[in-house]
Chain A
């Protein structure tokens, strides 16, 4: 009796919300629940004790019927602890919930077996992992928003790990399991692969950080520029892997390209204004001076008017060419507005 009392006290004192279910012919009857578990549903023990689990639950709005009514099948067949993964719940369970009440729980089903190795009890525990999930989501969101991610190559086991940020850049699903061979398809060419591994090998030999700009093709066929910064990992002088960050710099490079184009346009404008525009203009000015002088002397050469007309037309053509090259082709002014 004393032992039974102590076990109940141990169970009650567990901070992790837990419920003990007895496996019966009719289903799963609630034997006991600790305070943490009762608080989740805002219930008293007397309201649930001895009742069928599925007659009371679910009261969580995020659970689908398909998942719910088969949730004990795996523990009954496997007869070992089963991790059902992270589930979204509402706590406290109020009539009006907000996103602030959303919690994440990792659910475990632990079987208690009898002498015949049959499952007679199931302990259902719900570990609150809200903080961890939120931090992971924030981390993944931040990687997504700034288009960067982490990668780690284990040279001992020849495996590769990619963060969700890198997977987003590569346009592969989160479930994508990379390996050294499968990641080669993202390189633009065999030369890029060789160049990358050359940089890695040098970093390992020199025990230094490396930086490499790679042109890649994503799973959806989009070409991107990736800046990889990595450093070798050493344990007692032996390199066990290389880890680092990858940043999608395609937009930055495109912007730099645009700026360079604009710079070239401005250089062209400066040259054109200094040489091309001023050449016919200087000629017009010289002709006007000469014509004025000849007019005063009463001896104007008629062909000088043709020269004047020719120069004015040349000036007009040069101005048109400048406009076409800077606004028409390179869209300098329009780009600035965009």
Chain B
């Protein structure tokens, strides 16, 4: 099964490092890099129309449409075929707790992200079928 991967973060250096690590872990060789929530939602609607499965690495604190607003819209649309991994610099436990209330969120990771974090994600129950 094919899984399209997107990195949604306003930090270009993060895009750069994350792209390298996604390639190294063989999660994705061509991840899509998006700067903020609205860009992602537009991209997601095109993915949805062709019934593509997606893995999203979503930052919370972004300008314009932030990560929480993205999750609210996805929840309102009852989004399917979508796996969201929260990637944030926040160490506030309230953020982790809040993220758990969204059904499409499969993990919550605090930056800096390391290779073993991504390997753990790749081996998670939700994603195993896509990497065999």
- Seen from chain A, the residues whose Cβ lies within 8 Å of a Cβ on chain B are 270-271, 274-275, 278-279, 281-283, 285-287, 289-290, 307, 310-311
Nearest CB on B from A21, distance (A) = 87
Known contacts: A275-B61, A283-B112, A289-B114. The answer to whether A307 contacts B92 by CB under 8 A is no
A278 near B111 with CB under 8 A, answer yes
B89 near A311 with CB under 8 A, answer no
Chain B 84-120 per-residue mask, 1 if CB under 8 angstroms from chain A, else 0: 0000111110010000000000000011111000000
| CB-defined contacts of A286 to chain B, threshold 8 Å | 13-14, 17, 111-114
| CB-defined contacts of A279 to chain B, threshold 8 Å | 11, 61, 89, 111
Interface of A is mostly: helix
With the chains together, A290 CA to B21 CA distance in Å?
A: 10
Contact of A283 among B60, B90, B111 (CB under 8 A): B111
A278 near B14 with CB under 8 A, answer no
Size of the chain B interface, CB-CB below 8 angstroms:
19
B89 near A287 with CB under 8 A, answer no
B13 near A282 with CB under 8 A, answer no
Residue of A nearest to B92 (CB): A274
| CB-defined contacts of A307 to chain B, threshold 8 Å | 13, 16
Residue of B nearest to A281 (CB): B89
Contact of B89 among A275, A289, A310 (CB under 8 A): A275
4 closest cross-chain pairs (CB), A and B: A282-B111, A286-B112, A278-B89, A285-B112
| CB-defined contacts of B89 to chain A, threshold 8 Å | 274-275, 278-279, 281-282
With the chains together, A286 CA to B89 CA distance in Å?
A: 12
| CB-defined contacts of B114 to chain A, threshold 8 Å | 286, 289
| CB-defined contacts of A275 to chain B, threshold 8 Å | 60-61, 88-90
Nearest CB on A from B90, distance (A) = 5
Residue of B nearest to A290 (CB): B17
With the chains together, A282 CA to B112 CA distance in Å?
A: 5
Residue of B nearest to A270 (CB): B92
Known contacts: A270-B92, A274-B92, A279-B89. The answer to whether A287 contacts B111 by CB under 8 A is no
| CB-defined contacts of A271 to chain B, threshold 8 Å | 92
CB-contacts of B50-77 with A (<8 A): 60-61
| CB-defined contacts of B61 to chain A, threshold 8 Å | 275, 279
A-B contact pairs, 12 of them (CB 8 A): A274-B91, A275-B89, A275-B90, A279-B111, A282-B112, A283-B112, A285-B112, A287-B17, A290-B17, A290-B20, A307-B13, A307-B16
Known contacts: A275-B61, A289-B114, A290-B20. The answer to whether A283 contacts B92 by CB under 8 A is no
| CB-defined contacts of A287 to chain B, threshold 8 Å | 13, 17
A278 near B90 with CB under 8 A, answer yes
With the chains together, A274 CA to B60 CA distance in Å?
A: 12
Known contacts: A270-B92, A274-B91. The answer to whether A289 contacts B13 by CB under 8 A is no
Residue of B nearest to A310 (CB): B13
Residue in B13, B61, B110, B113 whose Cβ sees the most chain A Cβ within 10 Å: B13
With the chains together, A307 CA to B16 CA distance in Å?
A: 11
